[in-house]
Amino acid sequence: MSDSGAFDGPLPAPQRYFVLGTVTLATMLGAMSSTIAYAVLPQMQGSLSATQDQIAWSVTFNLMAMAIGTPTTGWLSNRFGRRHVFLVSVTGFSVATFLCGAAESLETLVIYRVLQGLFVAPIVPLSQAIILGVFPTHQRGLATAIWGMGVVMGPIFGPTIGGYVAEAYNWRWTFFMIMPVCVLSVFLGWVFITDRRRLRGTRMDWIGFVALTVAIACFQLIMDRGARLDWYESGEIIVETFLAVAAFYIFLVHSFTAAQPFLPPQLLKDRNFALGLCFALVFGALSFVPLALLPPLLQNLRGFPDSLIGTVLAARGFGSLMGNFAVVAMGRFDPRISLAIGFICQGTSGLFMAQFDLNVSIWDAMWTSAFQGFGNSFLWVPLTILAYATLHPRQMGEATAVFHLLRNLGSAIFISICVGVAVHYASVNYTVMSEVVTPFNEIFRFPSLSGAWRVDDLPGLAQMSGEVTRQAAMVGYVNAFYVFSAVALSVVPFIWILKRPPPR
């Protein structure tokens, strides 16, 4: 190691494992913060007086910020050094997490979640780069596996503990409870991350990046607010559409005319990578939708407490853990087979969830969530292998940035779509079902048929309205799960268009 603190090669054994523990802890924090937020969505919705589509903004804008922040990691680490970027990211994430817990309104919560997403975005790619830098070649596989296992454990422990904490106190403490670990992560990073190397000649295509960022942000606003504002009856949606189209046009023109654009069009000439980007968009779309839909379904319609909802989300993490072992066993086979298995499992889990009704049990929710996590774990490794299989090594930097951008963007967009489907069909079905709730309905003249339901006084009407609302909401969730399943299964036939990677 030189005097400047830069790595001249693999570190001594004790120090390199301290570095591994540091970056694993930081990455686990990012994963925990996301899954904890999903577990307490219903409680945040009630506390902040938000509707279901509004509270989903705290998820979609966080994912959008991660999508925007991830591609800048390479430039930031080359410009300022991995140590500084890592410390700023973990420190900023810690501060933003505390502010999320202290937020007093939906608007401030969304802003702090955006900051949280921007700061957490560089942690995963930076952690991978640090691991590859401090471990010798023959130990990189083991180190990456340990790091990956730590990342998987975050979504298991986070919702489980967070659910009990939220039930005992409130949703704010699910953010506050990880603050001691955040402080520890900052301290360990300050002590053990010493790589200060910089490549000042590295350039960033700011015109292309800013244009794409504006296009993505405006498109996300359209998706999140369109249904509430009656789409193009609203001046806001018209302005956002104009800005999105204009920014995307600038991005396209700049990409085809600049010497070193943010997204070199030559990358799309590679069939595997071009198709891989489409699959990455779908993979991201499928990753988090059940996490956004199951908690409000289970709490608002079934009345399950936060602790049980956390257990359901933890089951997904456990399924992912089991799936990782299966993926390793499938490593010697064609990766297209693993990719097809993953999407089929996702689609099948969506079909199972579409069979839920108002009597759904916690066991049904747990095993379908675990099965969805199992299928999700089959997608990442084979998808990256196939997408990069035929690219030249010099193109990996730009390719990785775009790949992660579309993956996170897919998550944000599809959550907005599925939540919109659930809300829309809940409203439509409430209107349809309420038409038969009238004193002129012959059924209400016969108590043996109508049971405890009655429409001849205000308490009876209020009770009936609540039940119709629950039934209509359940139909909305069922339709959203069908959309989820249809998207997952629709891409399976196209997997075989990908070229099988050449043998090593």
Q: Tens digits of per-residue pLDDT, 21-36?
A: 888 888 888 777 777 7
- Enter the DSSP assignment of 437: -
What is the predicted pLDDT for the residue at 7? 46
Q: Residue 406 has what pLDDT?
A: 83
Distance CA 265, CA 257 (A): 10
Q: What is the pLDDT of residue 249?
A: 92
Nearest-angstrom CA–CA distance, 494 and 480: 23
Q: What is the DSSP secondary structure assignment for residue 298, as one 8-state letter? A: I
CB atoms within 10 A of CB 353: 27
Q: Where are the beta strands (DSSP E) in 334-446?
A: none
Q: What is the mean pLDDT of residues 362-368?
A: 90
Q: Residue 456: what pLDDT?
A: 64
Phi (first) and psi of residue 12, to 5 degrees: -60, 155
**Residue 99: closest CA among 487, 91, 40:** 91
As a whole number of angstroms, the distance between CA 163 and CA 310 comes to 5
Q: Assign 451 a pLDDT band (cuts: 50, 70, 90).
A: low
User: What ranges make up the beta strands (E) of 111-239?
Assistant: none
Using the 8-state DSSP alphabet, how is residue 262 labeled? S
Asked if 230 contacts 223 with a C-beta cutoff of 8 angstroms, the reply is no
pLDDT of residue 94: 92
d(C-alpha 355, C-alpha 234), whole Å: 36
Determine the Cα–Cα distance for residues 72 and 68; give it in Å rounded to an integer: 8
Q: Is the pLDDT of residue 442 over 70?
A: no
Rounded distance, CA 18 to CA 194, Å? 12
Which tokens in the block code for residue 70? 């991830």
Read off the amino acid at residue 384: T
Place 72 in a pLDDT band, splitting at 50, 70 and 90. confident
Q: Decide: 375 and 41 in contact? Cβ < 8 Å.
A: no
Q: End-to-end distance of the chain based on CA atoms, in angstroms?
A: 33
- The pair of structure tokens assigned to 231 is 């789409």
Within 226-305, residue ranges assigned H as helices are: 235-257, 271-287, 289-296
Q: How far apart are CA 10 and CA 380, in angstroms?
A: 28
Encoding tokens for residue 173?
A: 């403490």
Tell me: the pLDDT tens digits for 223-273? 877 777 778 888 888 998 999 899 999 988 988 888 778 777 877 887 888
C-alpha to C-alpha distances, 296 to 239, 358, 470, nearest whole angstrom: 32, 13, 12
pLDDT of residue 460: 67
The 10 Å CB-count burial string (b at 16+, else e) for 6-15 is bbeebbeeee
16 vs 490, higher pLDDT: 490
Q: Are 95 and 33 in contact (CB under 8 A)?
A: no
Rounded Cα–Cα distance for residues 293 and 349 (Å): 14
CB within 8 Å of 109: residues ≥ 6 apart: 44, 48, 58, 100, 103
pLDDT (mean) for 313-338: 80
- Please give the mean pLDDT across all residues of the chain: 81
